[in-house]
Structure 1
Amino acid sequence: MIPIDPVERHLFFEGILIKYGYDFRQYAEASLDRRLAYILGKKGSTSLLDLLKDVLGKPEEFRSILSQLTINTTEFFRDPHFFKTLRETVIPILKTYPHIVIWSAGCSTGEEVLSLAILLQEENLLKRTTIYATDINQNVLKTAKEGIYEASCIPLFNKNYSMAGGSKAPSDYYSADYGLVRFNRDLLENVVFSEHNLATDSAFVECQLILCRNVFIYFSRELQNRALELFCQSLAHKGFLAIGPKETLRFSPKANSFSSVHEGSNIFSFNERFKK
């Protein structure tokens, strides 16, 4: 792997912040270095300062590397046990609300949003739910809005859907043609897609459920705490926060604001008494 000079890394991300408003300075350094080394290797370069010169002078160059600076690994019904637990423990409580607001933070290319929409439809909740799906990357948001994917994703979708407690034929939710699958448009009717940066942007909605799964692992402790503060500002009393299976709230100053809903699921209930 190409070694990354810490000074050059600092200058590179300071330049991006000033020019484009994207703040990567508090992302985990080891993860950033792997991505930067990959980008430099593809370009046949070893200098972040040369790359910075191109990025600052050519906005299209920045857009081309943005997707490589952010992690977009996802799949339909990822961690099926999580979705099964969500269905069994959280959905019954959400049913008590006349209108439900959900925030999917770091929604990537939309597989998790569609998985959530399918679950809500099966529980007769989708029509009275608004889902805010946000990500830092406009390119992945475009894919998420379209709801069109390579047909190669379907075997895993079918398997995960069944393991997550799905009650219908998986093929009820999509149509396939020419190597692509298009998910039913009604699944996305109540989804609002928007660019949002957890490192720099503010809270914008009050909601009963926030999903931010497999995002914290790429953040520094300081940025994790900032994001968690946003979630505390956004959650209604007794709302729910779901994070990834390898993530924890244990070391955050806000940890006492949450209580575990189900051991091993990383779904937490928010206590408004600690909200500031």
Structure 2
Amino acid sequence: MDILLILKALILGVVEGATEFLPISSTGHLIIAGDLLDFLTKDKRDVFEIIIQLGAILAVIWEYRVKFIHVATNLNESKSRQLVINLFIAFLPLAILGLAFHHQIKDLLFNPKSVAIALIVGGFVILFIEKKLPAVKIHSVDDMDWKLALKVGFAQAIALIPGASRAGSTIIGGMCFGLSRTAATEFSFFLAVPVMFAATFYDLYKSRDLLSAHDLTLFLAGFITAFIAALIVIKVLIRYVANHDFTAFAWYRIVFGAIVLAYFWH
């Protein structure tokens, strides 16, 4: 196996894990990084990205394993049942719209220029919303009802646009609907589990002919680094949102998007 290829896989694994749960768009960063690194063919790169996304989502399951085990083993409790219902309801808008428009979105918007524009626009949206946030009404994911979950689900569907950010859409959307920063961030983590598992296994099934034992080392390198990077980000982000807003991420999106737009505008 080419050492340079493995190094590129490690870099992309870190990019995925570091950006998946931040409001800066992991898909956007992977599209840009993969293009700059000239990593694999497009079809192979798509499969690789599916694998490393699985590594990132397993980091959420590991970090919140006590919560997930409690919910799974105590569905007789109203709060556990409600959380499962909320996650299912919030999952539906993205799933339905994604299945309906997946190919059109991928053909039209999966390119560095579109991602850069979405990053910039999303940055300005975050800056605007941070100045207009309503009062906090819900401080814990356990206090959410299905109507609030559905609203967050529709906010998440905005992330079908590459560069918009699934984490950003759900966290900022949740805050707009009265969730505290911590509750919105945790719900975004939890909601990532069904969303990313569904997307991962659906895409893996479609791409099963591209899977090869020859690529195992490459995929494993990206998977492990994505898991580690995501685990670190999850721990840091929960501490960060307790005392900070998302203005820094907004400006990062704007500056990074502008640089990418300038680089690829030819």
- Greater CA radius of gyration, 1 or 2? 1
Q: Is the TM-score greater than 0.5?
A: no
Structure number having the greater strand percentage: 1
Instruction: State the structure with bigger RCO (CA 8 A, min sep 6), 1 or 2.
Output: 2
Normalising by structure 2, what TM-score? 0.26
Structure number having the greater helix percentage: 2
Normalising by structure 1, what TM-score? 0.25
